[in-house]
Amino acid sequence: MELVYRIYFGWLPLPLTVIALLCAIFYIFIVSRVIRSKRIGRKCYVILINRTIGDILGCITALTTSFYVLISKHPNRDIVSLLELFFVASFWSGMISYVSISLLKLYAVWKPIDYREKITMKRCIYLISLSWIIFALMVVYTLTVTALTKIPVLNEWSGCKLETCQMSMYRFRNSITVAVYLFTIFVFAITVTLLKKEQKTINSFRSNGDISTKGPRFPLYKLALNVATFGGLNIFYVIWCISMNVTHDGCFYQRNFSEMQLILAFVRCTLLLRIFVDPVISFIVDSHVCHLIILLNSFCFRDN
């Protein structure tokens, strides 16, 4: 088991984790500068920063796990599981940020006139607070059930077993993950439908000679890329959650622990890859971010 931890939780994800962490930190630096320039709407960018903070926390947790399993002579399963708890919880804060952005875009397309009045920065801060409340709840809930199962005094008092209390906790958490994932995809589908409907209306006006009619305020490709990254790279974790829920044998995971850790290591790498891909896409397709990067490069070369 030590070899599995060292290879698949230590050396294998280490380069990707470092690169993803550097990209996430640079992304926050660039977007913070963009927000301070006051040339853009700040609401979605603030939520994107919140998502990236969760990503940074996930990278730090993954690095801690890698260093622990590489340095420790005999890595403890419980300590690795504890570190993985914070990794998954940070993923949750990012997932709520994705849902928030999708809902904001949907409302902007559905009721563009009310958008500025109803969707204020204060309400965006509430959404950010909600993401970290859910993060805290996930951590506390998992730690509580784990303590009731594994600490002898609490286990004797509660009567919790691994195949009962802890499995129920994982099933509940996995079900919420799948539901939020599907909800985000569903919201995106509705947004696309509304945008296409709006585009048809605009095209009909233009065909009638009204060339002053403006197109949709929010380009679809940015939202599509965000959701494609979210949907494509998180789907492996969702499949993992579904497979754990449909397994009725409460001891299946423990009996096949080494094999499960190999699969989980691959799933972790896909989540880390998403943390790397998200900023890179923004550097390429977001005109405000791209423009600021070009300005910074020009400034650096001029100084040299």
- Local confidence band at 299 (pLDDT 50, 70, 90 cut-offs): low
Q: 216 CB contacts (<8 Å, ≥6 apart)? A: 109, 195, 198, 199, 202
pLDDT at 277: 92
Q: What is the mean pLDDT of the chain?
A: 82
Mean pLDDT, to the nearest integer, of 269-287?
A: 88
- Local confidence band at 64 (pLDDT 50, 70, 90 cut-offs): very high
- Local confidence band at 189 (pLDDT 50, 70, 90 cut-offs): confident
C-alpha–C-alpha distance, residues 46 and 28, integer Å? 10
pLDDT at 127: 86
Residue 61 has pLDDT above 90, yes or no: yes
Cα end-to-end span (Å), the chain: 51
Which CATH number is 259's domain given?
Answer: 1.20.1070.10
- Local confidence band at 216 (pLDDT 50, 70, 90 cut-offs): very low
Q: Are 54 and 72 in contact (CB under 8 A)?
A: no
pLDDT at 285: 84
- Local confidence band at 200 (pLDDT 50, 70, 90 cut-offs): low
Burial class (CB within 10 angstroms; exposed 0-12, middle 13-18, buried 19+) of 227: buried
pLDDT digits 0-9 by tens, 96-146:
888 888 888 888 878 878 887 888 888 888 888 888 888 888 889 988 988
pLDDT at 206: 55
Q: Considering its fold, how many domains does the chain have in total?
A: 1
pLDDT at 223: 72
State the angle between helix axes of 77-110 and 42-71 in degrees (0 to 180), rounded to the nearest 10.
170
| Max mean pLDDT range (17-26, 185-194, 254-263) | 17-26
Range of the domain at 224: 2-303
Least confident stretch, 205-219, 236-250, 266-280: 205-219
pTM, entire model: 0.86
Least confident stretch, 41-45, 67-71, 121-125, 217-221: 217-221
pLDDT at 201: 63
Mean pLDDT, to the nearest integer, of 213-239?
A: 74
Mean pLDDT, to the nearest integer, of 49-59?
A: 92
Which residue would you say has higher pLDDT here, 156 or 218? 156
Mean pLDDT, to the nearest integer, of 264-277?
A: 91
Q: Are 68 and 4 in contact (CB under 8 A)?
A: no
Backbone angles phi, psi at 31, to 5 degrees: -65, -35
- Local confidence band at 217 (pLDDT 50, 70, 90 cut-offs): very low
